[in-house]
Amino acid sequence: MNGVDQDQKVDFSVDKNNLYRQEVITDFKVASIMKFIPIKPDGTEDNSRTAIFLGQGQVMLPQGVTPIQVRLEADNLEEAMGAFPEAMNQARDQARDQARSQMAQMAETALQREQSEPTQQRNDSKIIKP
């Protein structure tokens, strides 16, 4: 089955029992907190569910600027602002560790490739080297 056939089978139905309205709170410096407010299909707030808070930011990694996003364990905006620094530091550290791991794997693969290429080139060459 090709990609076009798979795309035609995607269910684009809206889950009317899982709707949220999004608000963005920022200090225009470093903090960007998104608040997802549960709503009913008619657009009114659904007080039977709790809001979800996400922190967003960017970090500089060897691959360049990398966006990070993390769920903030909070029941209100005040708690979300308090949780933001630690959650973002943990997300940054995790992203940095993943980047280091990927770079180490790439370096190891490149080294293995370099070590195997000279042998192949010698075997393929018709020129006799002293």
**Annotated domain spans of the chain:** 13-117
Encode pLDDT of 76-128 as tens digits.
999 999 999 999 999 999 988 888 888 778 777 877 777 776 555 555 666 77
Burial class of residue 77 in the structure, from the number of CB atoms within 10 Å of its CB (0-12 exposed, 13-18 middle, 19+ buried): middle
List, for residues 1-49, the tens digit of each pLDDT value.
455 556 688 999 999 999 999 999 999 998 899 999 999 999 999 999 9
